[in-house]
Amino acid sequence: MSRMIASVLTAMLLAMPGMAFAQQTAIFSGRDLVHPAFGAKGMVASQEALATEIGLNVLKQGGNAVDAAVSVAFALAVTLPRAGNLGGGGFMIVHDAESGENVAIDYREMSGAAAFRDMYLDDNGEADPAKSRFSGLAVGVPGTVAGMALALERYGTLSLAEALAPAIALANDGIEVTADLAQSLEGLSKRLQKWPSSTAIFYKEGGAPYAPGDILVQSDLAASLTMIAEKGPSAFYEGPIAEKIVTAVGDAGGHLTLDDFRHYEVKLREPVTGTYRGNEIVSMPPPSSGGVHIVQILNTLEGVPMSFLGHNSAESIHMMAEAMKVAYADRSEYLGDPDFVDVPIDQLTSKSYAADILSQISRGRAATAAEIGPGDLTPYESHETTHFSVVDADGNAVANTYTLNFSYGTGLVADGTGILLNNELDDFSAKPGVPNAYGLIGGDANAVEPRKRPLSSMSPTLVLKDGKPFLVTGSPGGSRIITTTLQVIMNVIDHGMNVAEATYAPRVHHQWLPDELRVEEGLSPDTVRLLEQLGQKVVVKNAMGSTQSIMVTDEGLYGASDPRRAGALTLGY
Ligand code: DON
């Protein structure tokens, strides 16, 4: 990637009056739907406005997409504490325009050496969510710091200190509390106020909530970020930060050790790839299930005339739901950490397997969950993860999804670090057949084992045409991430929508178990009735996902932040 070429290009554009439009700012977001006359040449879409602005500045100053992405990730750790993080983990897909290479960076959390299969069971042998979600046992060794450092070192041009500087300033100087942040902190006060170390940071004296407009200073977090800027990732994995996290986890009933921190490894993996109607899909491989099942569902639906059936018609939703069910049933059986289990990726993503699946789908009748596989589930709401997308003027692209799992993870800040700790290990299958927080079940492939990564659904995805990215997308939403990302892709490819239309359109979701077709508000009652006639158990529930997407067009970049959650912003220049 050539930073120099980027600045030369910028200089040329500035020098040519006819090209001045390239300097315009394009704003498409949930809070501001102004469509500029021209597409942009560099763009950032994220869940939080300050972080987006920071990423855009990096691009404007000649940084590439990875520089901007890493700066955004660190900024979100300050400005979006419910999901942005140092104490969590995630996945990044990078497209390097110069080499044409696509790479998947796996910085998912890992369990410690003392983890064992039944560690989340109570004395009666039943899965105990309090252990897997809200105790020290829920915490995996965080991957974010190592992941960002590696991304920057291999694909960026900035130093780690440069990429951290904006986040350090925000943590030191304080951020103005937005309505969204105030509401989220107040809503999750029970989770956070269980821990004095968290209460001291995220609430005023006496535990009173911050109001919109108040300033939230995070000095301990600023100190941690500064140490990482000065000493590199070892400051997080070997120094006092690791020691403080190990102590906090131990005090909360967990068993991570300094040795676990020293053993943490980021993994560079081959993305999962597939094709859909002539477009190339590049997405996250295991330990995410996202890429595999997006490709599997797309393969299945490639044999269906989706555009002819029409967007969100009963027939198209029915076919999508049937394809989704099979994918989620396969997920529960075959998917897990590839360093521990052989995931049959080639088979699951093959066109012939998809043809097989399609041949068993009835256009006239919904298969019951029992016909596909057994289970007994309870759904769970209110979690948080965050996705952002970046494209730079050279055509480099980054899709990044990272998380603490729940909003604020365990809710526990490791005292003295300002760092909130994840509860990612709830994504393991605590007991075969017992659902995790997203109603997902699993078996041996995703059983708890020492130093293993729990199975994820996070699906940062690139869609390429002729080797070049034309859609960069991804979403939070637990089990719904896969189907949300899928629908953005299908809305663009099958239904010819622009990126904003593809984002806003009502979504549907089926995950095999529970046996329900979950839909958002906005489907017509006629469609719902027709789906019910086909045997689909339709339930209207909360909005799903919060995509942050960028589309590359002949006129430049267009982007859209999902209006489903407040505070997001897409900016271009
Ligand atoms: O990795 C996963 O699949 C989950 N831990 C993601 C959680 C999530 O998306 C919650 N957000 N809305």
Assign residue 565 the CATH number of its domain: 3.60.20.40
162-180: per-residue pLDDT in tens? 999 999 999 999 999 999 9
Establish if 106 belongs to a structural domain: yes
CA–centroid distance, 278 to ligand 1, in Å, is 30
Instruction: Return the best residue to mutate from 457, 475, 546 for the ligand 1 pocket (most ligand atoms within 8 A of CB).
Output: 457
DSSP 8-class letter at 508: E
Give the number of the atom of ligand 1 that is nearest the alpha carbon of residue 454: 1
CA 565-570-573 angle, to 5 degrees, is 170
Q: Is 424 domain-assigned? A: yes
* Mean pLDDT, rounded, of the chain: 92
Lowest mean pLDDT across 22-31, 257-266, 317-326, 371-380: 22-31
Q: How far is the CA of 437 from the centre of ligand 1 (A)?
A: 9
Structure tokens at 310: 């029409």
Mutate to test the pocket of ligand 1, among 481, 546, 564 (most ligand atoms within 8 A of CB): 481
CA separation for the pair 545, 482 (Å, rounded): 10
Q: Beta-carbon neighbour count of residue 524 at 10 Å?
A: 12
The DSSP H or E segment spanning 322 is helix 314-334
Q: Which atom of ligand 1 is nearest to the CA of 289?
A: 3
- What pLDDT band is residue 26 in, cutting at 50, 70 and 90? very low
CB distance 93 to 399 below 8 Å: yes
CA of 180 to the centre of ligand 1 (A): 19
**Do 532 and 477 share a structural domain?**
yes
Query: Does one domain contain both 482 and 344?
Result: yes
Residue from 428, 446, 458, 547 to probe ligand 1 pocket by mutation (most atoms less than 8 Å from CB):
458
| Domain co-membership, 330 together with 409 | no
Q: Which two tokens stand for residue 466?
A: 């002729």
Indicate whether 3 belongs to any domain: no
The terminus-to-terminus CA distance of the chain in angstroms comes to 19
| Residue bearing the CA closest to ligand 1, atom 6 | 478
Asked whether residue 191 falls in the same domain as residue 290, the answer is: no
Whether the CB-CB separation of 568 and 499 falls below 8 Å is answered with no
The pLDDT assigned to 443 comes to 85
* Residue 441 pLDDT: 86
Confidence at 300, pLDDT banded by 50, 70, 90 = very high
Tell me the average pLDDT across 377-391.
Answer: 72
Residues 216, 343 within the same domain: no
Q: Whose CA is nearest to atom 5 of ligand 1?
A: 405
The amino acid that residue 435 corresponds to is P
State the distance from the centre of ligand 1 to the C-alpha of 386, rounded, in angstroms: 9
Q: Cβ contacts of residue 178 below 8 Å, gap of 6+?
A: 212, 566, 567
Among residues of the chain, what percentage have pLDDT more than 90?
Answer: 88
Quick one: pLDDT band at residue 38, thresholds 50, 70, 90? low
My answer on whether 81 and 63 are in the same domain is yes
Q: State in Å: Cα 406 to ligand 1 middle.
A: 7
Token pair for 105: 């960076």
Structure tokens at 243: 């020691």
CA distances from 539 to 211, 254, 510, 524, 562 (A): 35, 38, 10, 13, 22
**DSSP 8-state class, residue 337:** -
| 475 — pLDDT class (breaks 50, 70, 90) | very high
Residue minimizing CA distance to atom 2 of ligand 1:
456
Encoded amino acid at 258, one letter:
L
> What's the 152 CA to ligand 1 centre distance in angstroms?
24
Extract the tokens encoding 543: 């909005």
* Helix, strand or coil, per DSSP, at residue 43: strand
Judge whether 302 lies within some domain: yes
Residue 550 has pLDDT above 80, yes or no: yes
Q: Which residues are catalytic?
A: 385
- Asked if residue 140 lies in contact with residue 111, where contact means CB atoms within 8 angstroms, the answer is yes
3-state secondary structure of 323: helix
275 lies in the same domain as 190: no
Q: Give the model's confidence band at 373: pLDDT under 50 very low, under 70 low, under 90 confident, else very high.
A: low
- The residue contributing the CA closest to ligand 1 atom 10 is 384
Q: 528 alpha carbon to ligand 1 midpoint, in Å?
A: 28
Question: Between the CA of residue 383 and those of 17, 203, 354, 477, 481, what are the distances in Å?
Answer: 48, 20, 32, 7, 12
Would you say residue 186 lies in a domain? yes
465-481 mean pLDDT: 97
Mean predicted confidence (pLDDT) in 24-35 = 36
d(Cα 114, Cα 451) in Å, to the nearest integer?
8
Are 336 and 202 in the same domain? Answer: no
How far, in Å, is the centroid of ligand 1 from the Cα of 284? Answer: 14
Could you tell me if residue 321 is inside a domain? yes
- For residue 12, is pLDDT > 50? no
Cross-strand pairs, 40: 557
Best mutation site among 110, 403, 423, 426 for ligand 1 pocket (most ligand atoms within 8 Å of CB): 403
The Å distance, Cα 71 to ligand 1 centre, comes to: 22
Residue 301 in this model has a pLDDT that exceeds 90: yes
Q: Which residue has the tokens 């991804």?
A: 474
Shortest-distance atom of ligand 1 to CA 475: 9
- 66 and 124 assigned to the same domain: yes
**pLDDT-derived band of residue 417, with 50, 70 and 90 as boundaries?**
very high
Number of domains in the chain: 2
Nearest-CA residue for atom 1 of ligand 1: 456
Instruction: Determine the residue type at 284.
Output: M
Q: Is 142 left (phi over 0), alpha (psi -120 to 50) or beta?
A: beta
Q: Do residues 393 and 308 both lie within one domain?
A: no
Ligand 1 atom with the smallest distance to the CA of 457 is 3
Q: For atom 11 of ligand 1, which residue has the closest CA?
A: 384
Q: Best substitution site from 80, 109, 292, 438 to test ligand 1's pocket, by max atoms within 8 Å of Cβ?
A: 438
In a domain, 300, yes or no: yes
Binding-site residues, ligand 1, Cβ < 6 A: 383-385, 403, 405, 424, 427, 456-458, 476-478, 481
Quote the ligand 1 centre to 458 CA distance (angstroms).
Answer: 7
The separation between CA 123 and the C-alpha centre of its own chain, rounded to angstroms, equals 35
pLDDT at 7 (0 to 100): 30
Which residue range is the domain that position 354 belongs to? 271-383+459-572
Could you give the 3-state DSSP secondary structure of residue 510? coil
Distance between CA atoms of residues 68 and 32, nearest Å: 22
Find tokens 């899928």 and name the residue: 486
Q: Are residues 512 and 424 in the same domain?
A: no
Do residues 256 and 281 both lie within one domain?
A: no
Q: Which amino acid is at 271?
A: P
Report the atom number in ligand 1 closest to the C-alpha of 426.
5
238: which residues sit within 8 A by CB, 6+ positions away? Answer: 258, 261, 262
Look up residue 176 and give its amino acid: E
451 is a domain residue: no
Q: State which ligand 1 atom lies nearest to the alpha carbon of 108.
A: 1
Lowest mean pLDDT among 47-51, 375-379, 440-444: 375-379
| Interval 214-230 mean pLDDT | 98
Residue carrying the six token digits 């939703």: 317
Q: Six-digit token pair at 163?
A: 């990429």
Measured distance CA(488)–CA(534) in Å, rounded: 25
Interval 91-96 mean pLDDT: 98
Mean of the pLDDT values across residues 111-126? 97
CB contact at 8 A, 510 and 483 = yes
